[in-house]
């Protein structure tokens, strides 16, 4: 469904509340931001508000705040500093989440100014007000602004006071990042252009049962890899040695294989080792030749070829789940090979959902070869499951 966006509202002179996702990784000791991608991804929305003469009031969660001691290490102050550098402009940082200090700072904003207030989860210390969507808190934050923009896709699968709560009092529109996520991931879920090939993997079957079922429903082919492939191979009767396997999911895997009628494409070879270690001696084995003391840690070269062939002509590709233990260079070749095959497709919309899959594509140097890499790990997975995300549902329809 088409959602209202920031382009649909008047911003000049308005106090614009913006829920951003500034939940960035930080070094435990120095509190330096180790990856500012989420801040960078929010810049188009913030810059647009500045250019339109709005007053940007930004807020986000950062980590979990369960005890008083968590406050210092989860303060957004370093984020305000980084944002100021990226915008090349002053960012007013307000070290509280409510009260006179915040209200005065907002009152003093001029057109084009940017303010960031403290971690919304500071409110969790007092009865989980943010995370449990306390109605008083949502109403209070809503009272601080004239317009509400949600640009935090990464938290869209949660109904918190800072997204859903505010939206019950003030019309919510999407920012540019949220709009992009809905367009690409939502598009692939609701009306993908065919042929549609899904690449599914990752560690475990049990984490992704609904994703598998939903993708099997929508896609023309599902290429299975990663740790989960061994549960499927065992269900087909192969000996998988010490490979990752969930014996309590064998029946489920058998059922899916029957239902899939050939839509599920399974590997024909794998890279095996005797230990879960990059330096362990390894070899390529056909899937009917895995020894008792070996475990499969990647797909093999014939499987890369098989998957690359299956991708030819695809118009929509959704990738969730690395092909192997890509964190270890000796077991990253399968993931690289499939990245390469996707990168070379012409005229296809190619999307990555899932935290580790996004990390793999970035780490292996393929970040700019995909149409869209989702910024929301858990949110993108729930979207791919076909679930309604509360944060998206709360955005006004056009
Ligand atoms: P995502 O976060 O993209 O949804 P997952 O969390 O499901 O992906 O899976 C990613 C993890 O799966 C990676 O840490 C990777 O090392 C692991 N993995 C992939 N293949 C295997 C395998 N054959 N055996 C064990 N672990 C694997
Ligand atoms: Mg993961």
pLDDT at 354 over 90: no
The per-residue pLDDT for 260 is 92
- The pLDDT of residue 377: 85
CA of 65 to the centre of ligand 1 (A): 28
* Nearest atom, ligand 1, residue 326 CA: 16
Query: Can you tell me the distance from the alpha carbon of 138 to that of 81, in angstroms, rounded to the nearest whole number?
Result: 27
Q: Is 271 in the pocket of ligand 1 (CB under 6 A)?
A: no
pLDDT of residue 375: 87
324 lines ligand 1 (CB under 6 A): yes
* Ligand 1 atom nearest to CA at 298: 23
321 CB near ligand 1 (under 6 Å): yes
Mean pLDDT value across residues 199-208: 89
Please tell me the number of the ligand nearest to residue 203's CA. 1
Q: Where are the domains of the chain?
A: 6-179, 192-384
**pLDDT computed for residue 189 by the predictor:** 87
Res. 297: pLDDT tops 80:
yes
Residue 66's CB is within 10 A of a number of other CB atoms, namely: 12
Q: Which CATH architecture has domain 6-179?
A: 3-Layer(aba) Sandwich (3.40)
* Ligand 1 nearest-atom number relative to CA 324: 20
pLDDT in tens, 215-249: 999 999 999 999 999 999 999 999 999 999 999 99
Q: Which CATH superfamily is domain 192-384 in?
A: Phosphoglycerate kinase, N-terminal domain (3.40.50.1260)
Sheet (strand 221-224) strand order: 264-265, 221-224, 196-200, 316-320, 349-352, 372-373
- Mean pLDDT for the chain overall: 95
Give percent of the chain above pLDDT 70.
100
For the CA atoms of 51, 52, 55, 61, the dihedral, rounded to the nearest 10 degrees, stands at -70
User: How many Cα atoms occupy the beta-carbon half-sphere of 166 within 13 Å?
Assistant: 25
Question: Which is higher by pLDDT, 77 or 210?
Answer: 77
Positions marked active-site: 38, 204, 355, 378
pTM, two decimals, is 0.89
Q: CA nearest 161: which of 116, 97, 207, 108? A: 97
Say yes or no: do domains 6-179 and 192-384 share a fold: yes
**Is pLDDT at 1 greater than 80 in this prediction?**
no
CA torsion through residues 158, 159, 160, 165, sign: positive
For the chain, give the secondary structure using H, E and C: CCECEHHHCCCCCCEEEEECCCCCCECCCCCCECCCHHHHHHHHHHHHHHHCCCEEEEECCCCCCCCCCHHHHCCCHHHHHHHHHHHCCCCEEECCCCCHHHHHHHHCCCCCCEEEECCHHHHHHCCCCCCCCCHHHHHHHHHCCCEEEECCHHHCCCCCHHHHHHHCCCCEEECHHHHHHHHHHHHHHHCCCCCEEEEECCCCCHHHHHHHHHHHHHCCEEEECCCCHHHHHHHCCCCCCCCCCCHHHHHHHHHHHHHHCCCEECCCEEEEECCCCCCCCEEEEECCCCCCCCEEEEECHHHHHHHHHHHCCCCEEEEECCCCCCCCHHHCHHHHHHHHHHHCCCCCEEEECCHHHHHHHHHCCCHHHCCEECCCHHHHHHHHCCCCCHHHHCCCEC
22 preceded by cis ω (within 30°)?
Answer: no
> pLDDT tens digit string along 118-173?
999 999 998 999 999 999 999 999 999 999 999 999 999 999 999 999 999 999 99
Mean pLDDT of 30-50: 94
Output the CA 224–ligand 1 centroid distance in Å.
Answer: 12
């Amino acid at each position: 469904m088409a959602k209202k966006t920031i382009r649909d509202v008047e911003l000049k002179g308005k106090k614009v509340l913006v829920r951003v996702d500034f939940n960035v990784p930080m070094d435990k000791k120095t509190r330096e931001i180790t990856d500012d991608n989420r801040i960078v991804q929010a810049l188009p929305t913030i810059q647009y508000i500045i250019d339109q003469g709005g007053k940007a009031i930004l807020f986000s969660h950062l980590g979990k705040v369960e005890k008083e001691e968590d406050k210092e290490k989860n303060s957004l102050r370093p984020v305000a500093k980084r944002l100021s550098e990226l915008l090349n402009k002053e960012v007013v940082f307000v070290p509280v989440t409510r009260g006179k200090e915040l209200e005065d700072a907002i009152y003093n904003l001029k057109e084009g100014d940017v303010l960031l207030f403290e971690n919304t989860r500071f409110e969790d210390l007092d009865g989980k007000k943010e995370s449990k969507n306390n109605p008083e808190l949502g109403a209070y934050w809503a009272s601080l602004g004239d317009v509400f923009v949600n640009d935090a896709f990464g938290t869209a699968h949660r109904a918190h006071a800072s997204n859903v709560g505010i939206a019950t009092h003030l019309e919510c529109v999407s920012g540019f990042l949220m709009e992009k996520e809905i367009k690409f991931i939502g598009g692939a879920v609701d009306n993908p252009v065919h042929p549609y090939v899904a690449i599914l993997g990752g560690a475990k079957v049990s984490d992704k049962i609904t994703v598998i079922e939903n993708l099997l429903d929508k896609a023309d082919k599902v290429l299975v890899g990663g740790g989960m492939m061994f549960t499927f191979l065992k269900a087909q009767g192969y000996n998988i040695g010490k490979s990752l396997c969930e014996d309590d999911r064998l029946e489920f895997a058998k059922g899916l294989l029957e239902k899939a009628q050939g839509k599920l494409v399974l590997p024909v070879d794998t890279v095996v080792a005797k230990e879960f270690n990059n330096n362990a001696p390894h070899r390529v084995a056909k899937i009917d030749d895995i020894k008792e003391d070996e475990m499969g840690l990647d797909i093999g070269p014939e499987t890369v070829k098989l998957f690359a062939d299956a991708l030819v002509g695809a118009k929509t590709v959704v990738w969730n789940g690395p092909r192997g233990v890509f964190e270890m260079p000796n077991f990253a070749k399968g993931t690289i090979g499939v990245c390469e095959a996707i990168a070379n497709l012409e005229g296809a919309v190619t999307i990555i959902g899932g935290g580790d899959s996004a990390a793999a594509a970035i780490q292996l140097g393929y970040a700019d070869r995909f149409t869209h890499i989702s910024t929301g790990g858990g949110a993108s997975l729930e979207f791919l499951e076909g679930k309604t995300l509360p944060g998206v549902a709360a955005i006004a329809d056009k």
